[in-house]
Amino acid sequence: MSLYSQWTDMVVEYVKTKGEEAFWVEYSDIERRVYTDLLAAHNTVKKSTIAELAKTYNTTTEFIMGFVDGINESLKNPYDLETVEADQELAFDINFEQLYFNMLDAKADYLYELPQWEGIFSVEKRKEIAVQYRESKIVRNENKIGRNDPCPCGSGKKYKKCCGKAE
């Protein structure tokens, strides 16, 4: 069984036995500590194994695998999580703009409000990324059908007299 599968199974069991809130309290504490260190040393690419990180942050390899799962999309070279092993060296070469964006998307204010971001991006840059995030969530219907346009069903009637009649 892969470490990634162990992580997902552990989450399910943890939530069943201790509850979802307890899971998030423990996981977010671990995640906050790891990100605080990674962001503080943002000029260097952190290299470590999951086992070493688990020891450093006094947690299990499953919780660190969860952290890797969370940061993976923000890495310049993402990993195939199903093949990652506890003693495999990982390089955390982070795309910080993508990471900040993903933290906004996850609504992880406890992460995107860390003071370490001040050393990476200016307030203006963080606001710019936040605007890009909000823009990405707006759904625009570019092909709006006017009531007097031909109906898209192909009947030859105006939309208002055909499929738009019920509106």
Instruction: Give, for 13, the enclosing helix (H) or strand (E).
Output: helix 3-18
**Average pLDDT in the chain:** 94
Residues 110-138 have pLDDT tens digits of: 999 999 999 999 999 999 999 999 999 98
77 vs 105: CA distance, rounded Å: 20
Comparison of pLDDT for 144 and 135, the residue scoring more: 135
Residues 80-117 have pLDDT tens digits of: 999 999 999 999 999 999 999 999 999 999 999 999 99
Is pLDDT at 3 greater than 70 in this prediction? Answer: yes
In the chain, domain spans: 3-94
Does pTM surpass 0.75? Answer: yes
Residue range 7-11: average pLDDT?
96
